Structures are given as structure tokens and as C-alpha cells.
Structure 1
């Protein structure tokens, strides 16, 4: 994930003094309410009254007890942030006005996330939120031998955008108990990690990421620090109205871990980290069925639909090993089975992510098998058994313009080469300046989140 981070300069009132990565007191942190359901066999579902929290990377960071920014645009204030520890001691995260500043609203079991929100301080671009079990703890999901279901409306997500739903193996408290200098915790959305070992995170493990920070030359709000934050990632849904994929990304460990420099991977060192950056993706268009998903297609992205993801184990119990990730859709009162593979060298009966699918797809497309190197489905299963945090986001891509999801990628290869064509978007689409400038009304709506026993969360 490479979301654009919107950061603001705000004139704020007196703030609380802290020692470590602290919190301010100008804007109260009130988490928007969001309900979801836990279901059991027989179709019985219990409503959970939960809430969401905004990721810490989107929040205003300022000098403790002062209006002064610690971070402005895409640079740190070096007088406050001479070192990562100094920065954490000197700076505080502020509360969020979810609707006015970030375009995030909830109603019952529905969450709406706008891509661009104009406000008194400029414009917010994209956002990322997490489900909370309480005001200080993330909701942790353990999904082996279970299914996860939600409704989605991507009708207003064009080329170059990604409305993503995924599980990240973050700490339940955002890292507070492991890192004593983290005073903000899950209440303020700290502790993010994913399989890209992202280095654009401003605070990692209770310290700033200011040392070695390089402002991005193509993004006025972001940059890369000297450290990154790695963990297992299960992408349930990465999509816009044109294309979609679901993708497991294993890492070697089973908890969030801080990396440094080239050990974070990326760029020329893409496969140098402890995580699999590519994953094993099932994108129906890339797998040869170009009529399955999109506007007016079998799964019609012009209208709301339901996504069901099932995590099948080898024993049919929660103590087994993950052997298959199965996908179903429900739309217009009908259950729609996932598309079949239509790629030379792959079994045409394949319609889910399993060991055969992943191994043969890597061979057919000539891709590096980083997925297998880092433990494949078995490792993702171990991660899921331990528990992970649900992430919901909307973002654009300053690295590859989202072409890896919805166009032909890499762009220097013939689109007829197996695995290159991933959607119908033009290879010139997805440029952030273009999608941000034409973002009026662009949004994604997530609703009706459910999880529980296989077959319990949906009906035809």
C-alpha cells in the first residue's frame, strides 16, 4: 500500500505535555460509531457496536504545548526532530474531525470515505481507518475456518483509485505495551504495518521516522524515512469500478517489525525484506476472464454488491492449516461463483487461491515467487490464527499510478503477454495529479460487515 498522506498546518490551542509520542488536546478524539456482526451456523448474527479510528499518519503533528508544526508538507522540523527520539518527545498527534477534515462518515453499519475533502486548511487526500473493539484497542479478527463478508459500492471509483479492505497484523493496542514511548496507541491509530514494509510512516515503534527522511519529489505530502514497518497482510479487496484483486502477502514473522534501509525492500531492493511485496493475487481480468467484473459485467460495479471471502483449512477446523482462500459474490439476489482461470499453463478448473494456483500463476506469468519464499498460504494461516486488524482505505498511487491493478503493467511489456493485462484502464491513467484534480464526488462506501462460520454471513 502506498497511500498519499494529507497533512495540514493548523493553528491550535494549548496542548498537553508528554514524554514520548504523545497526544494533543485541541481536537477531541471521538471515534465514529460503526456496527458489524458476528454470525454462527444457522444464520444467527449478533450485532457488535464498535467504532473506527483514523490512522496516525493522517493526523496533524505539532510541538507539544505549542502551535508549531513538527511536520509540514513533506518535511520534518529539524529543530524539533534532531533525532527520532527527540522528535517523539517533542511532538504530539492531534485528534481528528472525521467528517469536516477527512470526509469520513458513518451511519449504522455503513462507512463512507471520500477521496478528496476540501476544508478550512486545504484539501485532504485519501484516508485509512481501523475497526476498534474499544476506544483503546483494535478489533482483532481470527478467521481460520471462517468467512468475512461486506457490501461495497465502488461505482464512484474510477481508474487510478483503490478502495481497499485488508487485514494487517498490527498490535491490538497500536504498540503501546511493546514500546513505552508510544503514548498514543490504538486510540490515535498508531502501529500501522503491511507487507510493503512502508517507509512513509511518520512514527514507528513509539519513535519518529525523521532520521534519513527524504521528501518525495512527486508528492507534496509524503516522503521516505530510514525505517519501515513490516507485517503479514491479507488483502481481501483492492478495487475500483474497473478491476479487483484479492491477495495474501506473507512475512517471515508473526508480529509488526521495524526494518531499516535496504532491509525494508522497495525499489531496486524489492525482494530484500522479510515480507512478500507481490503476493499471490487473484484478479479475474489478469486470470483471463475479461467479462467477469466491471461496469455492466457479471459482477456489475455500477451497483452495490456483497463480497464473501472464505478461509478454508485442511482439517475443516480453526486449528488446521490454511489451504484455500475462496471468493463468492452476491448481487441481485444471486450468488455468483468466482471466475475460472483461463491462462495457458494453468488448470482451467482453478477459481480460488490455493497452493496450485499460486505456484502455477508465478510460472505462467514469469513472476518471482516471493510468496512461496516467505511461507505462502501456510504462513498467512499462522498470521490469521494469531489475529489481525481490519483496515479500510481509499487511496491513489504515486509509485505506479495503480496500473498494477487496473491497466497493463509493466507498461514496457506487450499487453498480450500472460499476466500483463489487469484491466481496461489506459496506461496513461491514474496519474495522481489527474485523479485528485477530477475527484469531485469520488468515494467508496463499505457496509454490512459480517464474519463467522462458513456459510453463515450471506444469503442468496
Structure 2
């Protein structure tokens, strides 16, 4: 999961709460994106991004400076209960560039991995795209029968890093309208959820996640609480310069669902979760084409690229059932078709369909929770309800990102189909090493376009 490390006087700035502080004005960095129509006519929309509330400084009172959360523990005097935190604590506005390494220019967003600032350092970030003209609502995308296009530059991201662009079914207003304890809302980046049902969120449904809070053994500023925040997730892009994957994750619950116990799917109960945590991934290297993506590959990660993802329905309408998730790339003026599966026992698929998912899981000997929870049809249902765009950069304290760019799981031989996912060694990805060795890493996203199939890109 994502984590932020901010050391010094205001340790840490990653805590979250639901009142709004008055020490730092909240100014969302502006960014543009385009909506397109059939024929390729596109209209530029002026929007902005907002930092997730988990990164923000939480303090007692709206103008105070006493931390509600320090290191990786809550102050039990201020936060004696979930509701007490809501009454006692406020989250602050953010210095996006100076503290968090987040900057925009026109249609580009740059997320720096490590940012040194006057109080220490910040590691990683997560932001959401706002509705144009609004500081109080996230932009909602309905993806079925549409395509989503963006540019990516991952040239400064090595093993163990993930520059992610994805959609989750979080509430449009961050939960402010549904939960009286949430006074901050989307303006301050509240309401996050995903298919992993993360427990490290410090605020869920307007209450602090203080019950049973356990500090992390590897992250000095993170921990886990009793509750998780689950929702459907469409990973358009999880990538560094070595490997990339796009992955849908279905859930049996609609929207943000606060889980507890078995339904969260923790540890050995993974496949009892309300969400499919594994998803059905298409990673070109894992699917048998080891030269397609990477430095000097067919898709050359030394240079900027355009990534196109199409969501095909059974009847070619916005309300038809989702049947296929298709990928294209554009680089140096050339349209590059997605790689084809080159695995014995599998058809040469080049997109995500239910048939691909069934074959992949069978050949790789993986649990097929994606199909068990409804497959593309249920993924499409979440898309029809609407999803929020997330962009982030992070290192992985749980599995060191081996599931993306190395061999994983570690208890299977590398020769087994599906285990090898990239060229990174299994010793790579430890966050403390990534932070020290790749302090200058950054993810750049830009050129966002959304519209009917075939409207958002040109060779």
C-alpha cells in the first residue's frame, strides 16, 4: 500500500481527519484534460487534482498544532474513539510542490517519489482528478463503450516502484454528504477505497480508523486499523520502466464498503473478501512476450508514450455488458498493438475477456476470484455507476512490488507459467532501498483524453 514518510516538527503530515484546519489554505494544482466526440473533435476541460487525506497533517482543533497522530500511532487522549477524532481533529491544506513533490503544467502531472522539505521528507503520494469548476466533487468517469487515453513517462522509475493510474468506485463528494462526521470531503481528498480493502486508511466513512490500530513493522509512519475500505477497481496502468500491467478487480458490494473481519479478506482469508484482490491482469512479460515493454523495447520506456484503453460492450452501447478491455500504445507516431499471449496451453489473446481470464487462471494455477465475482459484466456495472480517477506513486511494504516486475509468489519456481513478471531480481523492491537508491524517481502523467472508441488518439 502507499505510504508517506514525513519527519520532523509536523510528524507526520500523512494523518487524516475530518474537520478542516485553517493553518494552510487548500489550493488544488490545476490540470487540463480533454473530452472527445466521435470523429476526434476534443474539448479541453480545465480541472485540478487533490491530495489524498491520508497524507495530510491532522491536528487538534481547526487552528491548533498538536498532532492527532504521531509516528505510526494515534494520540489516545485526543482520539479515544472513532467519533472523538472526528470532533477533535482537523486536516490541513497542502503545500503540494514544496512538501509533497506534486506539480502540474498544462495537462501534465508530475509526482516525485522523495521530496525533502523543511520538516523532513515525504515519500509517495496519491491524488484524484476534480470535476471541472468544482472544489467539492471528484470527476466521475463512466467507461463502458468509451476509451481512456493518457501519456506516461516512466523513464525515471526502476524496480520496486509503481506509477499508477487507475479508477475506483469512491463517492463523488468524498463521503461528505453521507456521513455527518466528514466535514472535509473531496476538497481534502477523503473517501478512498480500492479492491485491496486497505486497512491503512486513517479515516473511513467520517470516522477515525483507531480501533485495534497496529503500527507497521516496516513503515515508521503507517499502520492498520480494524476496518478496511473496499470498492471496485480498474487498474489502467501499474508500471515502472521494467514492467506494466492493466487489471480489473470486481467486488460483490457497490461503492465504498467498510469491511470488518473475514469480509476484508486479510491473510489466509484472501479469497473470502468482498473484492477480488488478485484481479485478472495483462502483463506482457508475464504473458510470454519478454521484449515488448521496457528500456528499448517495442514500447520503449526510455521515452514518453501514449496509452489507450478501450472498454468494449456486447452491443456497442454505453449500457451494454462489458465484454472486453483492449490496450493500444502510440509512440513516435506509430500505433502499437498490444502484445499477444505466448504461453503454452493458451490462445494468443491480446485483451482482457472472461475467456482470457479463465484460461490464464487455469494455466497459471491461480484462484479465479475475478470470474467467481462476476467477471467483466460486474466490472462493467461499476463503470456504469461511475468511477474516480486516481494517480499515484508508491513503493510496496507488503510484497516489494515483486508481483509487478519480478518473480512472484516466492514459493513457486520461476519456470512455472505466470511466476516471472519482469526482469527485476527477487531481492529488489524493499522500500528502504528504493527510497535511498531512487530518491529522484518520478512519474509523469498527461494528455488525458476521454471519449467514444477511436476518438482520442491519432498515429
TM-score by length of 1: 0.97
Cα pair 2:10 2:119 within 8 Å, conserved: no
Q: Match of 2:341?
A: 341
Distance 1:197 1:380 in 2: 16
Q: Match of 1:15?
A: none
Residue 380 of structure 2 corresponds to residue 381 of structure 1: yes
Cα pair 1:111 1:447 within 8 Å, conserved: yes
Q: Match of 1:432?
A: 431
Residue 64 of structure 2 corresponds to residue 66 of structure 1: yes
1:275 alignment partner, SS class: coil
Q: Could you give the per-residue CA deviations for residues 264-320 of structure 1, whole angstroms, max 9, x where no partner exists?
A: 112222122210000000000000000100000100000000000000000001010
Distance 1:11 1:453 in 2: 46
Distance 1:264 1:257 in 2: 10
Name whichever of 440-449 and 331-340 sits farther off. Answer: 440-449
Aligned-residue offset at 1:211: 0.9
Aligned-residue offset at 1:244: 0.2
Aligned-residue offset at 1:11: 5.8
Aligned-residue offset at 1:412: 2.4
TM-score by length of 2: 0.97
Aligned-residue offset at 1:374: 1.3
Distance 2:146 2:264 in 1: 32
Distance 2:157 2:74 in 1: 33
Aligned-residue offset at 1:189: 0.1
1:212 alignment partner, SS class: coil
Closer, same or farther: CA 419–413 of 1 in aligned 2, 3 Å: same
Of residues 52, 55, 61, the one that matches 2:52 is: 55
Q: Match of 2:122?
A: 124
Q: Match of 1:266?
A: 266
Distance 2:426 2:282 in 1: 21
Q: Match of 1:216?
A: 216
Structure 1: runs of 5+ lacking an equivalent: 13-19
Aligned ranges 1:145-294 → 2 under 5 Å = 145-294=145-294
Of residues 23, 26, 47, the one that matches 1:26 is: 23
Distance 2:314 2:156 in 1: 39
Distance 1:248 1:418 in 2: 21
Q: Match of 2:456?
A: 457
Aligned-residue offset at 1:8: 5.3
Structure 2: runs of 5+ lacking an equivalent: 12-16
Q: Match of 2:393?
A: 394
Cα pair 1:237 1:246 within 8 Å, conserved: yes
Taking only aligned residues, the RMSD between alpha carbons, in angstroms, comes to: 1.1
1:371 alignment partner, SS class: helix
Aligned-residue offset at 1:257: 0.8
- Work out the number of aligned pairs and report it: 451
